[in-house]
Amino acid sequence: MKFYSLNHPVPETSFKEAVIAGIAPDKGLYFPESITPLPSDFFDSIEKLSNLEIAFEAIRQFVSEDIPDDVLKEILKNTLDFDFPVVEIEENVATLELFHGPTMAFKDVGARFMANCLGYFSQGENEEVTVLVATSGDTGGAVANGFLGVDGVNVVILYPSGKVSDIQEKQLTTLGQNIVAMEVDGTFDDCQRMVKTAFLDGEITDHRKLTSANSINVARWLPQLFYFLFAYKQAKSKGKEIVFSVPSGNFGNICAGTVAQKLGMPVKHFVASTNVNDVVPKFMQKGIYNPVPSIATISNAMDVGDPSNFVRIRHLYQDDLSTLQENLSSFSFSDEATRTAMKTVYSQTGYVMDPHGAVGYLGLKEYQKNKPNTYGIFLETAHPVKFLDVVEETLGLSPEIPAQIQKVIDKEKHSIKIKTYEDLKSYLLDKN
């Protein structure tokens, strides 16, 4: 299987090349040349398969030319060694908990899969690869954790000083080894801009092989389709039409869900739920895509004004708005509505949602107003403890700190403070 750039649809890039490059030379996102549905008996008897077997069958066609089956199985074992439970909280409403991994956000799956792939591709290579990534919070921790100790790979994470939660900062600054955290005197947008500038800076790229670990990278994006299949396996016996609601920011997660559907998963509809950063909900009404600067909200991992993966979703539907509307609904919610949902669900069911999950819940309920007889699953993309302030303030309770978090909380922070792009550049040029 080859991949092509969405700016130049000639499939000529291998999975390995696409992973190492991150983004195509013409700045397009890579996309698989084909998606062949799995045989129907795969879905008929999916409950007999383990998660590892499901993941193997689902991803194999995309990677098999570059990763032998036995290596792929090992990579999946390292990636998926935690649970993905579907928890019913109301009649016909369940949540898919994606926060049981090491950094307690769904990004663990993509980050670990990518780290393992890159580790495998680096074997026997002389030149080290540097993963350069900007984070507004969850990506940094997941990438740091996933890549820790991977031979031949260095990781440099840029984060905005004072603008990530204490727990998130600990997760990305305390690991050491091949992980370096750069604390930027600026905003997330500044971090992102520095990273983008570095990728285009010949002086740096002549000197170092750089790649990105954001969801534009196919090795981070595609494995996110796994847990839609794991959820389908658990909810299938309900005998109802299943619909997924995905709290969305850069739209990588929901786009992976759409790939699971193209693989034959019998799910007809997805809901893309957003906070007030509503470029996509607006697009779904009129077909006009109008990116704007992002607005800060309590679901900050979704504060994205120009979602980078939405172009992949449009491509999957040949950019045909009416087909897209049949398959996808998109709704936007304010912080106030999000807090109200957190409170209502907590008081009626005892379930604690984080603000991102709560946006997913709201999108699902909106959709079910017209389709009450569907079985709805919203994704809980992070553990509520990762957004402690909001949860405490809204629900008046302190969630218990899980072991994964406890482990980093007392560790010492190490960061390199930088102010300008030149600071980053001199670091990248000096260190080999």
Ligand X SMILES: *Cc1c(COP(=O)(O)O)cnc(C)c1O
CA distances 187 to 160, 163, 320, Å, are 5, 7, 36
Question: Binders of ligand X among 373-412, rule CB under 6 A?
Answer: 381-382
Q: Is residue 102 involved in binding ligand X (CB under 6 A)?
A: no
Q: Is residue 257 involved in binding ligand X (CB under 6 A)?
A: no
CA distances 383 to 103, 289, 400, 406, Å, are 9, 32, 11, 14
Among 107, 208, 233, 269, binds ligand X (CB under 6 A): 107
Q: What is the nearest approach in angstroms of ligand X to the Cβ of residue 355?
A: 8
Pairwise CA distance, residues 202 & 339, whole Å: 47
Q: Is residue 29 involved in binding ligand X (CB under 6 A)?
A: no
- Phi and psi, residue 135, nearest 5°: -135, 145
Among 13, 79, 103, 250, binds ligand X (CB under 6 A): 250
Q: What is the nearest approach in angstroms of ligand X to the Cβ of residue 192?
A: 13
Q: What is the nearest approach in angstroms of ligand X to the Cβ of residue 275?
A: 10
For residue 236, give every residue at least 6 positions away whose Cβ sits within 8 Å of its Cβ, in sequence order, or none: 46, 47, 242
CA distances 225 to 84, 133, 221, Å, are 13, 22, 8
Question: Binders of ligand X among 164-193, rule CB under 6 A?
Answer: none
Q: Is residue 248 involved in binding ligand X (CB under 6 A)?
A: yes
Q: Could you tell me how far CA 134 lies from the centroid of its own chain?
A: 14
Q: Which stretch binds ligand X (CB under 6 A): 42-50, 52-60, 248-256, 403-411?
A: 248-256
Q: What is the nearest approach in angstroms of ligand X to the Cβ of residue 246?
A: 7
Kindly name the residue from 2, 73, 77, 107 that is annotated as catalytic: 107
Among 141, 152, 252, 376, binds ligand X (CB under 6 A): 252
Ramachandran sector of residue 271 (left: φ over 0; alpha: ψ -120 to 50; beta: rest): beta
Pairwise CA distance, residues 222 & 256, whole Å: 6
Active-site residue 107, yes or no?
Answer: yes
4 bridge partner residues: 31
Closest CB to ligand X among 105 and 167?
Answer: 105
**Three-state SS at 106:** coil
Q: Is residue 251 involved in binding ligand X (CB under 6 A)?
A: yes
Order of strands across the sheet that contains 375-380: 86-90, 93-97, 375-380, 242-247, 269-274, 328-332
Q: Which stretch binds ligand X (CB under 6 A): 18-26, 122-130, 241-249, 403-411?
A: 241-249
Q: How many CA atoms within 13 Å lie on the side-chain side of 279? A: 21
Which amino acid is it at 272? A
Q: Is residue 101 involved in binding ligand X (CB under 6 A)?
A: no
Q: What is the nearest approach in angstroms of ligand X to the Cβ of residue 423?
A: 27
Among 51, 122, 168, 215, binds ligand X (CB under 6 A): 215
Q: What is the nearest approach in angstroms of ligand X to the Cβ of residue 249?
A: 4
Closest CB to ligand X among 99 and 121?
Answer: 99
Q: Is residue 96 involved in binding ligand X (CB under 6 A)?
A: no
Pairwise CA distance, residues 299 & 394, whole Å: 13
Catalytic residue numbers, as ranges = 107
Binding site for ligand X (CB under 6 A): 105, 107, 138, 215, 247-253, 301-302, 356, 381-382
